[in-house]
Structure 1
C-alpha cells in the first residue's frame, strides 16, 4: 500500500514527461490543430531538444536526410547539407520550440519519478523532483504523455579496474569538452553509428586511436549532398518545391522497407544490397580489417551505419588507427588490458549505446488498481502498447515513440508526428470537455501486441542472423521495431478504430455542424424530391 498522496501543488490538463523532439511535436500540434496550450513539459536537462542537446560529441550528425528528420509542419529549406551536423539540428529544434511557445511551458532540471492514476478523480498524479534543489511536489493532470525517448540513459560496461584508471573517461552522450585529445592515446569502446562518426572526427588530432569493436555492422555509402545557396533559394521561394523534395526523400527512404520482410522478394533485394555494400566496404577499408568489419548476417537485421565520404572506413587507413575485437578484460592506471597485451590509453570513450527496453525508467507508473507498468507488461509477455501508443488499465495515458515505434529505414520523427496525431484524435473528447477517460479495450491491446510480435518474429529483425539491441537476448521479444511501413503506421493513426476504445462520456457529445448541414440537405432533398438518374 503506497503512502498517502500529498496535495498537488500544480495542475494542468496535460503533462508531458520529456522535452525532446516528440514533446515539441505534441506541443506544436496542440497549438496549431486544437488551439490548446494548457500543457506542462518536464525536462531533466537545461534545454529542450532531447538527444540533440545531449549528444555533442565530435562528428555528431544526422544519419537520416534532414528533409525527413524535421517536422512536417516546420519544413526547413535552410539545411546546408543532406546530413547536417548536430549543432544545425539543435538550432532548428530550439527555433521550432520557440515559435510554438514551448520553452515557457517547460520546467527544466526537473524529473518525473512517479505517476499514479486515481479512478475517483479521473486524474493522473505525477511526482516530480527538482534536480538542483531536491524539492519534490505532485502535479495533477487529466492526460499524461510519455515522451522520454528510446535512447536516454547511457550504457557503460562494467570493466574490472575502472576505478584505477587515471585518465579521462566519458560516454559519447556525456562528452566532456574540457578534455583535450591533442596528441593523446585514445581508446573507443564500441563500433556502432556513434563510434563511426567520432573516429574520423578525432583521428587527425590524436597520437593513437584504438577502437575495441564488439560486433560487425553493414556500413554503406551515405548520399552526401550540399544544399548550395541556389538550391536553398529554390526550395525557399518556388511554391511546393520544399514539400515535393521532402516527399521524394520520403519515397526513397520508404523503398528500403523492402529489405525488412520475410518474402523471397525481400531476400533477393537484401542479397543485392549486401553485394553492393560489401563491395563499398572492401574498397574503402584497409584489407587488414576486412575480416573484422564485414558481417555474415543479413543487411537490415540491425541498424546500418551510413558512411559519408571521406568517412569512417577511409579513416581506418591511417597508420595510427587500430581496430581490435579482443575482449577488454581490465583497466589499469594508464592502459586497457586484453588477453594478449596492454594498450596505452590517456582517454577512454564509451560509444556503447543506451539502456533499452525499459521505456520510462526510472519513472514508476501505476494505472488502475495500482498495477504497475512492469506488472502490466509481464502479463502481456513483454513491453507493448495498442497502436504503439496506449495501454488498457492506464486511462488517458499515451506514449510518443513508445514500444515498437522505431523503424529501420526512415525517420523516427514521422512516427512521433503520427503518434501525436493519433493520441490527440483519441483524447479530443477530453480536450473538448465532454469525456473524462479514454483507454483501449483489453482484448484489442492483447490482439494488437500479439500481431506485432508475430510479424516481427517472421521479419529480418528476427531471422537475419544477428544480435541487436532491438530485441531481448533472453526471449527474443522485440519491443523496439515497427514491423510495417511508415505509410501503414500513418494510416492506422489517421483512422481511429473506435470499436477498440472505451470512452467515458460526461455529457452528450455535440453534433458536428457538418452533420447538421448534411441532415438539412437530406431533409430538403426529401421535400423537393431527388431527380431520377
Structure 2
C-alpha cells in the first residue's frame, strides 16, 4: 500500500476537523468559491467526526433525521426518524465524496497550534502525524483563512476516581469505545445519566448478565418517536418534488416552537408548567415505581438537555438491571464502591459522563501574540461574535463555537447558518474580485454581542438553579444560543459591514454595500430556501450579487 501523498504547504483556506461542520464547509466553499484552494486536517482515521468516534452500543441520533441532514444535500433514504450511528456516518461520507473532500484531507494529522503572521497576512498551522515506521513527522501549513471545525464536545470528561489501576476488568469512556470489549454474559456498570447513557443501557442490557447504572442526578425524558420510513415513503421523497423539503420544513416549525421552553417570559413559564405533568406522567408510567424517587427531576423542564427515551425506561424493568443514585467513590479490583457504601460488582465499567464543556484547548495565537485562551479570559469567558468570529484573530472563524449549541433542534442548522454567514464575510477576501487582505470583527461589536448573549442567557431556564453542563461554576454559559434558530438564520443572511474591519492591499476598495436590491433579494431568497433549499442556483446567484 503506497503512503498517502504529502499535504500542500499553502492553500487559501485550512479547516481543522472533518466532522459534519468540516464537511459542510467544504461543500459550501466549493459552491461559493470554487476557485479557492482548501485543505482539511483531522486527527482521526476517517471523516465523520462525532459519528466516526462514537461507536458505543446503541449510538443513534436524538434529533429528527430530516433535520440532521444538510439543506443542500437532502437525504430521501433515511430508514427512520432517529437513525443509527452507522447510517449517519454513511450519509456524511456520501456528502463528503460528492464534494471531493476526502481528496483534500489529511487524516491522522493532529494540529498542534496556529499562529497569525501579521507581516505576511497568513495563518501558520503546525501539524504532526505518524510517519513511516515509528517516527513522527511535523510541518507547517500556511493559509489566508482558518476555520476551526473541532466543535465544543471533543474531549471526554473522565471522572478522577481512585483505584483504576487495580481494576481487573475493562474500563472505557463512551466517546473512546473499545470494540474489543466483550459484553455478553458480563457484569457491567454504567456511570452517568444523560443522552448517551439512555442509549447504552438498553443496548447493553440485552446481552449482559447484570447491569448497574450509577447516577447522580435526574433528567426529564421524552418518549422517542418510533417512525420508520418505508420504501414507499422514500420513493415519494425521491420522486415527488418538494415533498421531502416540505416534510423538513414542517418538522422544523414544530421543533422550533419548543424553544419557548427556555425563555424567561411568563408565557414560557406557563409552557414549562404545562409540560411538566405530561412528562412526569409518562416517566411514572414507563418506569418501575421503585425508581420514581431518583428518576423524576425536581427542577424545571428545559434546565438540562432533554433525553430521548427509546427503550431506556422499559429496560429498567429487567430483573438483572439495577439503578442506583450515588457518587462513585472508588474502583476496586472487582467493581465500584459508591458513597453510600454499596459495592457493585463489575467486569466492565463504562463511563457515559459526557465531555469537557466551555473548553477550547486548541492553541491559537492571534495578533500581538494574544492566545485565544487569554482573549476569552479578558472577555469573561468563551464567546464569539455570532458564535464564530473573534477580535484580534483575522480571517478566523469557528464552527459550533461558543454559544452555537441548540437546546431544542438540530446542530446542523446552526452549522449551516454559521458557514453561510462566514463565507459572506469572506467575500472581499475569497471572491473573484476580492482585494481585501483580512476581515476582522471590531472589538466593541464582539463584546456587545457576547455580553448581550450572556445577559439574555442569565434570565433563561438554564440559570434557574439546576446543575447543568451548559454553565460554568461562575455562571458563564458558553454552550447554548440564547435565541431561536430562526433568529440565527435571520442574523446570518447578510453582513453589517460597519461591524467589521476590512483591510485592503495596494488598491483600497470599499466593502460590499447593501442597496435597494437587498429587500427584493431577501424575498426571493426566502422563497428559494423554502422551495429549493440553500443549494438552489438562484439563491447562489443572488448571494453572489448581493454579498
Which bracket does the TM-score occupy, shorter chain normalised? over 0.9
Look up the match of 1:454: 455
Look up the match of 1:240: 242
Kindly provide the CA deviation profile for residues 256-294 of structure 1, in whole angstroms up to 9, marking residues without a partner as x: 101010011100100111111110000000000001100
Look up the match of 1:29: 28
Match of 2:103, SS state, is coil
Look up the match of 2:470: 470
Taking only aligned residues, the RMSD between alpha carbons, in angstroms, comes to 1.9
When structure 1 is superposed on structure 2, of 79-88 and 176-185 the one drifting more is 176-185
Kindly provide the CA deviation profile for residues 234-259 of structure 1, in whole angstroms up to 9, marking residues without a partner as x: 11111100110000111111011010
TM-superposed CA distance for 1:209, in Å, is 0.2
State the alpha-carbon separation in 2 of the partners of residues 275 and 418 from structure 1: 35
The correspondence of residues 325-404 of structure 1 with structure 2, limited to 5 A, is 325-338=325-338, 339-359=340-360, 361=361, 363-404=362-403
Match of 1:268, SS state, is helix
State the alpha-carbon separation in 2 of the partners of residues 439 and 220 from structure 1: 43
Look up the match of 2:76: 77
Count of residues paired in the alignment: 505
Look up the match of 1:256: 258
Look up the match of 1:98: 97
TM-superposed CA distance for 1:511, in Å, is 10
Structure number with bigger Rg: 1
Match of 1:81, SS state, is coil
Divergent runs of 4+, >4 A: 508-512
TM-superposed CA distance for 1:192, in Å, is 0.7
Instruction: Using structure 2 for the length normalisation, give the TM-score.
Output: 0.90
When structure 1 is superposed on structure 2, of 242-251 and 328-337 the one drifting more is 328-337
Look up the match of 1:319: 319
TM-superposed CA distance for 1:33, in Å, is 2.4
Task: Classify 1:142/1:215 alpha carbon distance in 2 versus 1 (closer, same or farther; 3 Å).
Answer: same
Contact 1:357 1:383 (C-alpha < 8 Å) held by counterparts: yes
State the alpha-carbon separation in 2 of the partners of residues 47 and 495 from structure 1: 34
Match of 1:137, SS state, is strand
Contact 2:123 2:142 (C-alpha < 8 Å) held by counterparts: yes
The correspondence of residues 185-200 of structure 1 with structure 2, limited to 5 A, is 185-200=187-202
Instruction: Using structure 1 for the length normalisation, give the TM-score.
Output: 0.92
The correspondence of residues 194-209 of structure 1 with structure 2, limited to 5 A, is 194-209=196-211
State the alpha-carbon separation in 2 of the partners of residues 333 and 510 from structure 1: 69
TM-superposed CA distance for 1:340, in Å, is 2.1
The correspondence of residues 137-286 of structure 1 with structure 2, limited to 5 A, is 137-286=139-288
Matched, 1:295 2:297: yes
Match of 1:504, SS state, is strand
Structure 2: gaps spanning 5 or more residues: 1-6, 519-547
Look up the match of 2:64: 65
Structure 1: gaps spanning 5 or more residues: 1-7, 519-533
Match of 1:246, SS state, is helix
State the alpha-carbon separation in 2 of the partners of residues 223 and 42 from structure 1: 37
State the alpha-carbon separation in 1 of the partners of residues 34 and 41 from structure 2: 21
TM-superposed CA distance for 1:509, in Å, is 4.2
Contact 2:32 2:423 (C-alpha < 8 Å) held by counterparts: no
Matched, 1:441 2:442: yes
